[in-house]
Amino acid sequence: MSESAVEFSSSLWERRKIEAMSRIQQVALDLFDEHGYRNVTVDRVATAAGVSPSSIYRYFGTKEMLVLYDEADPRILEVIRTAGGAETIAPADLIAVTRLLVPVLIESLLTEESERRIRRRLQYVVTIPEIRDGQTRQMRELADQFRKLFAERSGRDPEDLTVGMAAATGVWGCVAALDHWAATGFARRLEDIYTEAVGSIVDAIEVMFR
């Protein structure tokens, strides 16, 4: 299936926001690489990016998120939000559609440039404790979004234990894949690692809903 097979309903404003955040993140990473993460302030990033500090806080919330922001996260949520087309869909069918679409989405998003940027970001996650702590908060928030969305799409209670476990498995499984990539010196292509990881994650979630 080609990249064109995955369609997103993002508005023009949302696409422009993603483009702006990606550009600001690139500027921030360049500054962090040159001067050190702790030696660069949000004000300095804002000046270099040609935006106001308030815009950075509005987009990212914290300095840590300048490193941690990943434009793939909202797009994967969008795939799950629209998978199958119906308001509600049986868990087995939702899992089946997700199994088909997420690898296609990964392929479309992981360009050489995006993989290089993720590698740069991970080096800060590994070496800066506050960024690692920020990643933990970010993943907990993302798991909560997945939990609510999965419950909404499948017609289940958001407090259902299986729904919560499925969301956590998906999010933290991807974190484990990134940790593996970093620990092995980025030897393999991230697309291959993610594709393998997603297969294992979806298998595990499928067992939960049997």
Output the CA angle 195-199-205, nearest 5 degrees. 140
Q: Which of 66-70, 73-77, 185-189, 192-196 has the lowest mean pLDDT?
A: 73-77
pLDDT in the model for residue 8 = 45
Q: How far apart are CA 34 and CA 54, in angstroms?
A: 24
For residue 7, pLDDT over 70 is answered with no
For residue 3, pLDDT over 60 is answered with no
CATH of domain 3-208: 1.10.357.10
pLDDT in the model for residue 1 = 38
* Cα 150 from chain centroid (whole Å): 16
The mean predicted confidence, pLDDT, of the chain is 89
Encode pLDDT of 11-51 as tens digits: 677 778 888 999 999 999 999 999 999 999 999 999 999 99
